[in-house]
Structure 1
Amino acid sequence: MKYIIALVGLLVVFGLTYIASSDKRKIRYRPLAVMVVVQAALAFILLNTDIGELLVTGFAEAFGSLLKYAGEGISFVFGGIANEGAAPFFINVLLPIVFISALIGILQYIKVLPFIIKYIGIILSKVNGMGKLESYNAVASAILGQSEVFISVKKQIGLLPKHRLYTLCASAMSTVSMSIVGAYMQMLNPKYVVTALVLNLFGGFIIASIINPYKIEKEDDLLEVQEEEKQSFFEMLGEYIMDGFKVAITVAAMLIGFVALIAMVNGIFTWVFGISFQALLGYVFAPFAFVMGIPWSEAVQAGSIMATKLVSNEFVAMLDLTKQTGLSERTIGIVSVFLVSFANFSSIGIISGAVKGLHEKQGNVVARFGLKLLYGATLVSVLSATIAGLFL
């Protein structure tokens, strides 16, 4: 039965994507079919094989070790603030981002990351049938972050036509940055986080290839990566540490605001209508949860969490998921995969602002297709969760 529901789910995703396509005649179906098969194969390997378990375990242990090292610095500064045995979210989940950001800076400085990103991107371009720039951007987004990635291609931003700019922005919204993955792993099972990271990489290309199809001529398929301004090692390190701290503070501020606002709106809706706002959204998103493979008895509860991610951010939704009781492991797995992306309303402002900071005209272009960007990125999450559900 789950395979029939998954097939319906895929048809729904592709149907909704096809409706929004800017040029249906240009859709190339062969690369799409290849990428869907690759997604399914990777999901099977990561969720149902010993090799996948070994990869996930290794990834999780590596991040676990990094988080322990991060804890040494955090304990030095904040030790004694927390009560014995307590686990304040900001200290234990967000502040390790500072250390991970510093490591990313070091790997950038010694040219390890640029090499990995560039050549994985070139290999990906052979599979997805898209340009080297688009493939590079997708990999770079998953490592550097949804706003930082545009700095590395800033020389080409002003030269890109609207359709290629859309694909770059869609990749940035469909993935998550490596600096924040450790925080996710403290709230979700690492297996689902890793699976989502991999599936979203291909899912972003699949959805963008339908919503925004085009073919790049060889003479236009150029990749010119902007080298970072030469800094001393400690200048670079200080900059990345501060960037990581800004991310942690920004996420904390958004959590304070969104959690408080949702609590207030829930209170108003409960008082006026006898049902909370999140519960109401749960009914709206329940059909999508069902076609993703979630049992109907849990679809409203899962739909509420999915909606929370869309209207606020993934952290608020992940916190909600950790508080839920009575959900099956299958449902938790599918919802977890759905949550691991930057597809929410606030990301429209973040991405358009990042592009506008580099090229004002192109930033305005991004702002105009912001809702279409969010629509596509949300479908990427639904697609990844549906395929993951086949193997849970």
Structure 2
Amino acid sequence: MRYLISFCGLLFVFALALLVSKNKKEIKYKNILLMLVIQFLLAALLLNTTIGYVLIKAITNVFDHLLSYANAGISFVFGGLTNEGESPFFLTVLLPIVFISALIGILQHFKILPFFMTWVGFLLSKINGMGKLESYNAVASAMVGQSEVFITVKKQLDKLSPQRMYTLCASAMSTVSMSVVGAYMTMIEPKYVVTAIVLNLFGGFIIVSIINPYKVEENEDILTIEDEQKQAFFQMLGEYIMDGFKVAIIVGAMLIGFVALMDGINSLFDIVIGVSFQEILGYIFAPIAFLMGVPWADAITAGGIMATKLVTNEFVAMISLGEITDSLSERTLGIISVFLVSFANFSSIGIIAGAVKGLNERQGNIVARFGLKLLYGATLVSILTAIVVGLII
């Protein structure tokens, strides 16, 4: 029965994507089917095989070591501020972003990341039937972040059609950046973080291929990566460390505001109508959670977490999920966990539009105009990933 429900969920996602498709005649169904099969194979490999277990364990160990190194610096600066056994969210989850950001800067400086992103993107373009730029951008977004990625292709922004801009922005919103992966792994199971990142890469191509199909001419399919002005190593390192600290502070500020606001709204609704705002959202999103494979007994609770992520951000939703973990089945936790691993929320519209506008005002205005459609597509990517995982676990 659950397979039938999940199959209906797949049809539901594809129907919603087709509903807003700009040019159904250009849809490359063979490429979509191939990428869907790849999604299922990768999910089965990562979640149901010894090879997948070893691979995820190795990735987890790498991030565990990175977080331990980060904690050495954090303890040196903030040691003694907490009581024994306590682990404040800002110190243990957000501040390690500073160290991860520094590592990204080093990999960028020595051209390791650009080389990797370019060639992986080139190989992906052979599978997804899209341009090299679109494929590179999807990989780069997962490495350097949804706003920073546009800096690497800023020379080409002015030449891109609205269709290609939509694809680039949808890829950026559908994934997460490497700098926050370690933070996610402290909040939900690492195996679901890794699986979601991989599946979202292909899921983004699938949904965009339906919503926004187009053909890239050979003479337009040129990938020119922006080569930043060569900096002295320690100048670069200082900038990336400060960038990481800014991200940690910004995320922390957003969490303070969103968590407090959500708590206040929940209390207000509870007083006025006897039901919290999150519960109301849970009822609205429960059918979608059910089609994703969540048992109906957990659907309303899961729907509330999904809505929280959409309205606020993934960090707030992960905190909410952590508070009710014991009340949910393992299957529900897996499905909802992968759904949460993306930047698909309302605040990301402003982040991406602002990042593009800072580089090219005309394109930034175009991105702002299709902002809601961008969020719509990125949310479908998260739902698709959750359905695939629900069929596998």
Q: Same fold (TM over 0.5)?
A: yes
Match of 1:247 in 2: 247
Match of 2:342 in 1: 341
Alignment of 1:135-284 (within 5 A): 135-284=135-284
Match of 1:354 in 2: 355
Deviations 1:79-113 (A, max 9, x none): 00011100100000000000000000001111110
Structure 2 CA distance, aligned partners of 1:337 and 1:315? 13
Match of 1:83 in 2: 83
Alpha-carbon distance, 1:63 to partner: 0.2
Alpha-carbon distance, 1:253 to partner: 0.3
Structure 2 CA distance, aligned partners of 1:115 and 1:23? 34
Structure 2 CA distance, aligned partners of 1:82 and 1:150? 39
Q: Secondary structure at the residue paired with 2:69?
A: helix
Match of 2:114 in 1: 114
Could you tell which deviates more after superposition, 177-186 or 26-35? 26-35
Deviations 1:1-20 (A, max 9, x none): 22111111100000001001
Deviations 1:263-307 (A, max 9, x none): 111111111111000000000000000000000010000000000
Alpha-carbon distance, 1:22 to partner: 1.1
Give the TM-score normalised by structure 1. 1.00
Alpha-carbon distance, 1:229 to partner: 1.5
Structure 1 CA distance, aligned partners of 2:22 and 2:272? 42
Alpha-carbon distance, 1:55 to partner: 0.6
Match of 1:125 in 2: 125
Structure 2 CA distance, aligned partners of 1:291 and 1:353? 34
Structure 1 CA distance, aligned partners of 2:392 and 2:143? 26
Q: Secondary structure at the residue paired with 1:62?
A: helix
Amino acid at match of 1:151: I
Amino acid at match of 1:340: V
Amino acid at match of 2:74: I
Structure 1 CA distance, aligned partners of 2:168 and 2:34? 21
Amino acid at match of 1:351: I
Alpha-carbon distance, 1:23 to partner: 1.2
Match of 1:372 in 2: 373
Alpha-carbon distance, 1:219 to partner: 1.2
Structure 1 CA distance, aligned partners of 2:376 and 2:103? 33
Alpha-carbon distance, 1:195 to partner: 0.3
Structure 1 CA distance, aligned partners of 2:186 and 2:314? 13
Structure 1 CA distance, aligned partners of 2:87 and 2:18? 45
Match of 1:57 in 2: 57
Deviations 1:174-226 (A, max 9, x none): 00000000000000000000000000000000000000000111111110000
Alpha-carbon distance, 1:372 to partner: 0.1
Alpha-carbon distance, 1:27 to partner: 1.0
Match of 2:317 in 1: 317
Amino acid at match of 1:312: T
Structure 2 CA distance, aligned partners of 1:107 and 1:250? 24
**How many residues end up aligned between the 2 structures?**
392
Match of 2:18 in 1: 18
Structure 1 CA distance, aligned partners of 2:22 and 2:243? 37
Structure 1 CA distance, aligned partners of 2:112 and 2:143? 12
Which contiguous aligned blocks of 4+ residues in structure 1 show a shift greater than 2 angstroms? none
Match of 1:102 in 2: 102
Could you tell which deviates more after superposition, 18-27 or 153-162? 18-27
Q: Secondary structure at the residue paired with 2:99?
A: helix
Amino acid at match of 1:168: L
Q: Secondary structure at the residue paired with 1:218?
A: coil
Amino acid at match of 2:312: S
Deviations 1:24-70 (A, max 9, x none): 12111010000000000000000000000011000000000000000
Backbone CA RMSD of aligned residues = 0.5
Structure 2 CA distance, aligned partners of 1:166 and 1:233? 35
Structure 2 CA distance, aligned partners of 1:330 and 1:11? 21
Q: Secondary structure at the residue paired with 2:365?
A: helix
Q: Secondary structure at the residue paired with 1:220?
A: coil
